[in-house]
Amino acid sequence: MLLSPANILRKTMKLIIISVLLVGLAVLLLALRLIVKGDKNPQSSHIEDSKALKKRGIGCANKQMAELATRQNLADRIADDPQ
């Protein structure tokens, strides 16, 4: 079999079309699953809503930083600044 530029292009286009169709089918099936299942209350992925992390005392970093900022005076915050 001779590998001419036209043959290579034809095979490449065939592969691209098949790939696009497979990805499109996967997206369509995922969308149908969402529509049919109709999950009204999806699980939250926020750290504060995780029981296991609460048990370990792990919380949201932004909230922890805000709490620290309200507890420290300005001189302490300047001394702790890594810059």
Domain boundaries, the chain: 1-36, 47-83
**83 compared with 7, residue with greater pLDDT:** 7
Distances (CA, A) of 75 to 17, 64, 71, 79, 80: 63, 19, 12, 6, 9
Please compute Rg for the chain using Cα positions: 27
- For 10-23, the pLDDT digits (tens) are 999 999 999 999 99
Note the pLDDT of residue 80. Answer: 73
What pLDDT is recorded for position 1? 57
- Alpha carbon 19 to chain centroid, angstroms: 23
Contacts of 58 (CB under 8 A, 6+ apart): 47
Q: Do residues 47 and 58 lie in contact, with contact meaning Cβ atoms separated by under 8 Å? A: yes
Is a pLDDT exceeding 80 seen at residue 34? yes
Is pTM beyond 0.75? Reply is: no
Average pLDDT, the chain: 83
